[in-house]
Amino acid sequence: MNLSPRRMSVLLAVQRSGGVVAAADSLHMSPSAVSQHVRLLEEETGARLMDRAPTGAVLTEAGRVLAESAERIESELIEAQRRLAGLDGASPTGTVRVGSFATAVRAILLPLIADLEASRPGLDIIIEEVEERAGLARLRRGELDLLLLERDARALPPAPRGLGDVPILDESWLVVVPPGSAVPTSLADLAGATWIALDPSTAGAFALTRLSGQLGVALTTRHVGYDYDVVLAMAHAGLGYALLPELAVRSNEIPDDLRITRLPGLGARQLVVRHRATRTEPGPAVRAVLSALLEQTIPLGTVMG
């Protein structure tokens, strides 16, 4: 049996995105091309890999086995890139300023600093918590070297000219159920819920809008949050259901009466690192931090459901 790693990666995108159309958007392909890749993979394996449903595509058991293998291949490739980057010779030195939002600071950058202090003593990492719009302006001015951004994985705009994006993590969107409320078992159960809206600049706002389109109804919202910690507190206070990325949940203590559930078709949030892309940038020090970020987030890739 000869399996195409490329087609396996397309199947993985379908699983992460929750559907063929969304996977096509994330891969910059047509939906028919995605379907063709899956069909050819089914011919190669002799097994049905995907079932289509009104709310998206659900992988069969055979499909999940292949998707898990595709994730392992993806991780191995990232590890190979990291090891190749380490063959340059001299250890890079210098100051690297990294801008980020709160969730990624706690879950990714703080552990990264601890690791780099031991493995790359010549690097001086400076973390700055920054709002996205201000961070983008500072990156262009050279005041930041790297900027962590969040995107709903089904709405990924390309990086502007002169800048580059490095995806480092895809993670599931989760439903936070307020105390005493019914735990949904399918996307259809979410249509009648009252939601905590998210600031329009956040990936969560795009995800809620997408969910509304999937359900074919306007979602009822009352309160609005920006910081995911605040949204969790609002949900715990009974102000509504919330849609949050898994890192935001994992990096907080969740009260016993607050239920967290994942549902097929909710899609994913993608974290990307943006950097200046010129003839001389990113330099050795920035490349070293980028490589370390990729290594740091490999274990976190298992949060995808």
pLDDT tens-digit profile of 39-64?
989 988 999 999 887 767 889 999 99
What pLDDT was estimated at residue 130? 95
How many beta carbons lie within 10 A of that of residue 127, not counting itself?
A: 17
| Span 119-128, pLDDT tens digits | 888 889 999 9
Structural domain includes residue 162: no
Q: Is the pLDDT of residue 212 over 90?
A: yes
pTM for the full model?
0.67
| Residue 65 lies inside a defined structural domain of this protein | yes
CATH number of the domain where residue 41 is located: 1.10.10.10
Domain of 202, CATH number, reads 3.40.190.10
**Which range of residues forms the domain containing residue 198?**
171-268
- Reading phi first (left if > 0) and then psi (alpha if -120 to 50, else beta), residue 156 is in beta
Q: Is residue 62 part of a domain?
A: yes
Query: Could you tell me if residue 91 is inside a domain?
Result: no
> Does 147 reside within a domain?
no
Q: What is the pLDDT of residue 87?
A: 58
Q: Which of 83, 100, 124 is the last residue of a domain?
A: 83
Number of domains the chain is built from: 2
Domain final residue, candidates 50, 83, 116: 83
Instruction: Check whether 211 has a pLDDT greater than 50.
Output: yes
State yes or no: pLDDT of 151 exceeds 50: yes
For residue 222, tell me if it sits in a domain: yes
Number of residues that this document lists for the chain: 305
Residue 84: the pLDDT is 62
Would 195 be classed as within a structural domain? yes
pLDDT single digits (tens) 249-280: 877 788 889 999 999 889 899 999 999 998 88
Would residue 164 count as lying in a domain?
A: no
